[in-house]
């Protein structure tokens, strides 16, 4: 009798230890599986590209590449959590980037002094963020006041914003910014790339917002069951408006990083980012039916995608498989990965249901 009692106490201790462990690690089953996938991709790519993949240089260059997609993915995640989707993120990024670029090129050609330049760069950033907020406000009004389905409203505004960007630029690129502005996309702070810092900061903010604030809780509630959310007294309209405001501002930040990294702004830049960002969010375990999502998952998903694409790029140097590797093989692997992860998650969900 006492023996079993001891056993029970032991298992209780174990349980509390596990609980503590779980609190520091991603707890969702899907996220754990994604962690395994990410590590597996990392190992496979390192083995396939000996001496090339696991180098400081490669990791440094990857750290400049994935933050843009990461920020866009955070935006998509927020919209998916509320049960909608924002298709206009890329067009908002480009439009706000172009507005900032217009200010910046004026500043360069005017030949201003250093402090004035700093003011100009700050003004450009502020203008881009404000324009992003305006775009997001328009999306929010269409979705919450006019009750247009998010997918349609943002499909329309996507065309609209890209169109406005085209009208402003007539299809040309706007290039040539002051050195200070190029720091956002190309600079390092204490050895860490600035884009990476921006992405990590935003990721922390979004995670904190979702898990620790009332707004985050309300967003998840609304995504899980909009009708219940309304009947429990949530102002669904205001919540929706805020969501699309947030996604647009995030997109504007991504737009700034892009124009600064490439030193040019164009109306149709990065159109392939849209599907990739949705892919990252879904891969990261965000439920497209709303209600659930974690920044952990998005972080892992964007990393695994970057490992895959950098690794495949290096494989082009390989003599036997090299000729078959190109951008389209990457697209194929991404799609296959998305389907595979969804199927695995579905199987695990079924096993648990039993």
Cβ pair 62, 306 in contact under 8 A: yes
Query: Residue 288, exposed/middle/buried by CB under 10 A (0-12, 13-18, 19+)?
Result: middle
Residue with Cβ nearer another protein (85 or 206): 85
Q: Is 135 exposed, middle or buried (0-12, 13-18, 19+ CB in 10 A)?
A: buried
To another protein, the closest distance from the beta carbon of 170 in angstroms equals 6
- Please report which helix (H) or strand (E) contains residue 37, including its range: helix 29-48
Alpha-carbon distance of 243 to 185, in angstroms, equals 26
Nearer to another protein, 188 or 329 (CB): 329
Nearest approach, Cβ of 110 to another protein (angstroms)? 27
Residue placing its CB nearer to another protein in the complex, 87 or 125: 87
CB of 207 to another protein, least distance (A): 23
Q: Pick the closer one to another protein by CB: 161 or 296.
A: 161
Task: For the chain, give the number of residues.
Answer: 354
How far, in Å, are 18, 88, 97, 352 from residue 161 at the CA level? Answer: 49, 8, 12, 44
Could you identify the residue written with the tokens 């991709």?
A: 41
User: Cβ closer to another protein: 197 or 215?
Assistant: 215
Residues within the interface to another protein (CB under 8 A) = 82-85, 87, 142-144, 146-153, 155-164, 166-167, 170-171, 222-223, 226, 236-237, 240, 271, 275, 278-279, 282, 288-290, 324, 326-336, 338-339, 342-343, 346
Q: Least distance in Å: CB of 161 to another protein?
A: 8
Residue pair 257/198 in contact (Cβ under 8 Å)? The answer is yes
Nearer to another protein, 12 or 172 (CB): 172
Compute the least distance from the CB of residue 75 to another protein, in Å: 16
DSSP structural state of residue 192: E
State the minimum distance, in angstroms, from the CB of residue 166 to another protein. 4
């Amino acid at each position: 009798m006492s023996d079993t009692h001891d056993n029970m106490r032991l298992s209780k201790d174990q349980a509390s230890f596990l609980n503590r462990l779980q609190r520091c690690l991603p707890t969702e089953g899907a996220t754990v599986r994604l962690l395994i996938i990410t590590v597996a991709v990392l190992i496979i790519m390192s083995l396939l590209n000996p001496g090339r993949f696991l180098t400081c240089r490669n990791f440094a260059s990857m750290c400049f590449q994935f933050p843009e997609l990461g920020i866009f993915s955070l935006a998509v995640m927020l919209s998916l959590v509320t049960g909608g989707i924002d298709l206009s993120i890329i067009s908002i990024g480009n439009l706000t980037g172009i507005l900032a670029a217009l200010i910046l090129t004026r500043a360069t050609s005017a030949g201003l002094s250093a402090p004035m330049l700093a003011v100009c760069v700050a003004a450009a950033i502020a203008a881009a963020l404000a324009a992003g907020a305006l775009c997001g406000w328009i999306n929010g009004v269409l979705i919450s006041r006019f009750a247009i389905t998010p997918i349609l409203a943002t499909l329309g505004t996507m065309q609209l914003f890209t169109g406005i960007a085209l009208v402003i630029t007539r299809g040309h690129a706007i290039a040539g910014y002051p050195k200070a502005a190029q720091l956002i996309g190309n600079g390092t702070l204490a050895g860490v790339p600035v884009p990476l810092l921006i992405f990590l900061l935003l990721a922390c903010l979004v995670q904190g917002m979702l898990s620790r604030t009332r707004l985050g809780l309300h967003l998840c509630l609304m995504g899980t069951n909009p009708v219940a959310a309304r009947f429990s007294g949530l102002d669904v309209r205001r919540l929706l408006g805020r969501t699309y405001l947030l996604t647009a501002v995030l997109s504007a930040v991504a737009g700034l990083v892009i124009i600064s990294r490439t030193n040019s702004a164009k109306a149709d830049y990065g159109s392939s980012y849209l599907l990739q960002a949705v892919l990252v969010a879904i891969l990261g375990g965000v439920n497209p039916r709303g209600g659930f999502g974690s920044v952990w998952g998005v972080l892992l998903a964007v990393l695994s995608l970057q490992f895959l694409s950098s690794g495949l790029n290096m494989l082009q140097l390989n003599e036997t498989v090299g000729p078959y590797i190109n951008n389209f093989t990457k697209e194929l692997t991404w799609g296959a990965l998305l389907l595979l992860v969804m199927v695995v998650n579905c199987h695990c969900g079924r096993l648990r249901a039993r």
